[in-house]
Structure 1
Amino acid sequence: MGSTLIHGATVLSVDAENRVFEAGFVAIHDGRISGVGPRDATPNPSGFDEVFDLTGHLVMPGLVNAHTHSAMVLFRGRSEGQSLLTMEGWYNSIREPELSLVASDIGPAVALSCAEMALSGTTTFCDQYFFAEEIADAVKDAGLRAVIAYGIVQLGDERRGAEELAKATAFLEHQRSADGRIVPWFGPHAPYVDNTEALLVEEVAVANEYGVGLHLHMACGPEDNEETQRRYGTTAAVALEQLGFFKGRIHAAHCIDLSDEDIAVFARAPHASVSYNASAGLRSGRSGICPAVSLRAAGVTVALGTDNVAANNSYDMVSEMRVAGLVASHREGVAQPLSSRDLIRMATIEGARALGLEHEIGSLEIGKAADIAAFDLSGAGYSETPDPETLLVYSGSGRDLRHLWVGGEQLVQNRSLTRRPFGDIRQTYSATYAEFWNRVQQARTDAKNKKAVA
């Protein structure tokens, strides 16, 4: 694969010591980081195939989007006035038109999402959706990393649940031997809301058999605990712990209604983490806010995610860091209970840890995969500062991403994609978008006519 030297930039290592190197360097050989350090330790550039003088840039680990649904870019701007963290809002805005999706819709949608993520600094994301094979193919074409959880929605239909479990298992078997940038998981959409207890038990058993994680929505709204409170007098998190659900790797999105007892459940679990999706939570209109500060104090890994771009409308993880920090300050009534450094760690190494990838990505350390983002801080809106982390979080934007590498391969160079032109991706997506929504409208018209005849 060759060698690359990046030098002259402010380098955020995000290692255990949070080392920051002014005018530092990162060296890459055969897709892996071979050196990180200060200016006076910079290797001789003549020994590298490519050399980038990134003076005026901030170089850091690629960002990890810990929760999204990449194919749902098709629904951007389609849920205004609806809360997607309630069953009614989700069903009306998303689930009903989803019934018109076909496999050929997925690739163009995911390609656009991957392009938007790459162009704003994200190198790895955690996805949960249907058509998982098509998502995986599109991610491979884009060159990003992804944990892809096959989304299982049962909605009371036992036969459907069994069929989806079988499809999810087949997905695991196929992708385990596929490209190493794709990690297959299970994705029970929401426990007790649209996955029955019996199906949850089966999902845990299969996930443990294959040694994979489960990515789910939890404590998103009032429906989440209704069933378990009625049956057991407790919350869904506690009921799931009693089922043995938390014995494996669990990554839960949203978690805005967690009780102290629920937080203790996460803290006791060997591999439980939370994706704090602040922007999506605010847009939902829910009064609850993920207790990120309390979770972290209890020792729980908390990562950051955008959720889908119907709930958020943006994949910009720099913006997500800012919103997460502001919302935490509001929730706790304390100025910056999550520091800028905390937020950067949550968007990098903690996201990697939540996905079981902390030994491979999430920090700039020798031996790790060279997943690297370089932001240009020389333009308007930036200025000299003793704190480059706060500069990025509270003054920065993902739109200032200039270069991006995944596994040492440069996917973004001078703000342009290297594998496939963005214009081509957008043109293909636009045609797919029109076809999909025409199909949705036709399905609605047919249903209305059928009802009128009846």
Structure 2
Amino acid sequence: MSSTLLRNAIVLTVDGLDTAHDAGWVSMIDGRIAGVGSMDTCPDDSEFDSVLSLPGHIVMPGLINAHTHSAMVLFRGRSEGQSLLTMDGWYNSIREPELSLVASDIGPAVALSCAEMILSGTTTFCDQYFFADEIAAAVAQAGVRAVIAYGIVQLGDKERGEQELASASAFIERQRSADGRVIPWFGPHAPYVDNSEDLLRAEVDLAVKYGCGMHLHMACGPEDNEETMARYGLTATQALSRDGFFAGRVHAAHCLDLTDEDIAIFAAAPAASVSYNATAGLRSGREGICPAVKLREAGVVVGLGTDNVAANNSYDMISEMRVAGLVASHREGRAQPLSSRDLVRMATIDGARALGIDHEVGSLEVGKAADIIAIDISGAGYSETPDVETVLIYSGSGRDVRHAWVSGEQLVADRQLQRRPFAEIRADYSATYKDFWARVEAARAKA
């Protein structure tokens, strides 16, 4: 049995009552949260294997990145001047070089992404991409938690769609027996744009069979609704609803162009959620902004995501909270329609709810997995405040994360990775990056 006590910290539990302690403690035993409270109830240090006193720190649940593509760190800085939320922009800057990817590229790329995420406080992320087995292996090695949706892109090729569906099913079968930190889903890349109607129906049937979720892009660009409006006079959301797509768990990324009727469909569904990716949306140049406030008012679960770091360039979820709050104020035309407390919940417990794992993570409550971060707020840029969430979001940075635990295992101590040195991860990635882009250039020269 292993046990750890964190004490003398500001503790944000993000429980149902948003309980907070100006001076509090959290204990972990065998990977689970064993206790939380104010310092006047703190147990004796002698009861624990290790004790960490954290004055000047916020202790809170690990952050949850509700939408990204971790292997796409290989494309960082490669899509400037392109909107990745349009078919042309995505195809020209991402899809064409993706054709040169090989399985051995994925592990080093995902390892770097996992390192960047955990070092900035993200303990769980939702991924959608190809090479799902390689992503899962890298996640397991890093020790973080991830929902991995097997990315399916058909692009009009029926045989390819059938092959990808079979491969996705096999991936889910393999990963269901894993240790629980990797959760397998289906990942239809985008409805109607690059997944046909027949393929979408087959994906729904298999998701129901396996009891897993589906993670997709929705209402990202003008192409999304064109085919369904022409064919049925319905938006893509409405057409999907008509075909039973929302019967199971659906987690939709972006959602810039939802109508009021679309929002009502999400609200009426038993387990439909949205990832609000504010930074990626702004950089895309799209006029649409995710109606996060309307969605939440309708009762829809909304998490926060970075999207890939070609669209965003950063995995910093504290920065993402800040941008999400600013953009919501701009969209709604009023100050802080999403409070700082709302934003913290969206980056933690609401992200967990979106992924169907809120029974396990997303808040500091007894019995849950000990996915915990400690953020140093003693330095420049922070000062005394009655509202620590606001200071964290609008003054803070993921670079201030000092410690991080997943299932009670300390993955970051004093800003240093504990499983594998960052320098080694970066060196492996750099070699992979050079090799990958050399292959892309060689393929372009032959074209």
TM-score of the pair, normalised by structure 2: 1.00
The match for 2:262 is: 262
The match for 1:23 is: 23
Q: CA deviation at 1:22?
A: 1.1
The CA distance in 2 between the partners of 1:147 and 1:198, in whole Å, is 25
The match for 1:417 is: 417
SS at match of 1:392: helix
The CA distance in 2 between the partners of 1:79 and 1:309, in whole Å, is 10
The letter of the residue matching 2:158 is E
Q: CA deviation at 1:178?
A: 1.2
Q: CA deviation at 1:52?
A: 0.4
In structure 1, runs of 5+ residues without a counterpart are 448-454
The CA distance in 2 between the partners of 1:253 and 1:337, in whole Å, is 21
TM-score of the pair, normalised by structure 1: 0.98
SS at match of 1:7: strand
The match for 2:320 is: 320
Q: Does 1:227 align with 2:227?
A: yes
The CA distance in 1 between the partners of 2:423 and 2:118, in whole Å, is 15
- Give the alignment of 1:20-419 within 5 angstroms: 20-419=20-419
The letter of the residue matching 2:156 is G
The match for 1:450 is: none
The CA distance in 1 between the partners of 2:174 and 2:189, in whole Å, is 21
Q: CA deviation at 1:135?
A: 0.0
The one-character-per-residue Cα deviations of 1:261-308 (angstroms, maximum 9, x if unpaired) are: 100010010000000000000000000000000000000000000000
The CA distance in 1 between the partners of 2:194 and 2:349, in whole Å, is 31
The match for 1:432 is: 432
The CA distance in 2 between the partners of 1:87 and 1:180, in whole Å, is 35
The CA distance in 1 between the partners of 2:373 and 2:227, in whole Å, is 44
The letter of the residue matching 2:123 is T
The CA distance in 2 between the partners of 1:319 and 1:374, in whole Å, is 16
The CA distance in 2 between the partners of 1:21 and 1:43, in whole Å, is 15
Q: CA deviation at 1:23?
A: 1.4
The CA distance in 2 between the partners of 1:367 and 1:409, in whole Å, is 15
SS at match of 2:92: helix
SS at match of 1:173: helix
The CA distance in 1 between the partners of 2:286 and 2:41, in whole Å, is 51
The CA distance in 2 between the partners of 1:184 and 1:234, in whole Å, is 31
The letter of the residue matching 1:241 is S
The CA distance in 2 between the partners of 1:98 and 1:144, in whole Å, is 25
The CA distance in 2 between the partners of 1:139 and 1:41, in whole Å, is 37
The CA distance in 1 between the partners of 2:71 and 2:168, in whole Å, is 17
The letter of the residue matching 1:278 is A
The sequence identity of aligned pairs, in percent, is 75
The CA distance in 2 between the partners of 1:419 and 1:165, in whole Å, is 34
SS at match of 2:438: helix
The CA distance in 2 between the partners of 1:252 and 1:178, in whole Å, is 25
Q: CA deviation at 1:179?
A: 2.1
The match for 1:452 is: none
SS at match of 1:358: coil
The CA distance in 1 between the partners of 2:396 and 2:11, in whole Å, is 16
SS at match of 1:114: helix
The letter of the residue matching 1:317 is M
Q: CA deviation at 1:203?
A: 0.2
The letter of the residue matching 1:33 is I
The CA distance in 2 between the partners of 1:248 and 1:133, in whole Å, is 24
The CA distance in 2 between the partners of 1:233 and 1:199, in whole Å, is 21
The letter of the residue matching 1:344 is V
The one-character-per-residue Cα deviations of 1:307-326 (angstroms, maximum 9, x if unpaired) are: 00000000000000000000
The CA distance in 1 between the partners of 2:9 and 2:289, in whole Å, is 36
The CA distance in 2 between the partners of 1:45 and 1:394, in whole Å, is 35
The letter of the residue matching 1:242 is R
In structure 2, runs of 5+ residues without a counterpart are none
The CA distance in 2 between the partners of 1:357 and 1:334, in whole Å, is 33
SS at match of 2:256: coil
The match for 1:451 is: none
Q: CA deviation at 1:391?
A: 0.9
The CA distance in 1 between the partners of 2:202 and 2:178, in whole Å, is 25
SS at match of 1:256: coil
SS at match of 1:361: coil
The CA distance in 2 between the partners of 1:195 and 1:248, in whole Å, is 18
Question: How many residues end up aligned between the 2 structures?
Answer: 447
The one-character-per-residue Cα deviations of 1:211-247 (angstroms, maximum 9, x if unpaired) are: 0000000000000000000000010000000000000
The letter of the residue matching 1:229 is M
The CA distance in 2 between the partners of 1:178 and 1:290, in whole Å, is 34
SS at match of 2:392: helix
The letter of the residue matching 1:411 is L
The CA distance in 2 between the partners of 1:211 and 1:185, in whole Å, is 9
Structure 1 runs (4+) deviating above 2 angstroms are none
The letter of the residue matching 1:132 is A
The CA distance in 2 between the partners of 1:274 and 1:299, in whole Å, is 11
Q: CA RMSD in A?
A: 0.4
The CA distance in 2 between the partners of 1:167 and 1:441, in whole Å, is 29
The one-character-per-residue Cα deviations of 1:321-346 (angstroms, maximum 9, x if unpaired) are: 00000000000001000000000000
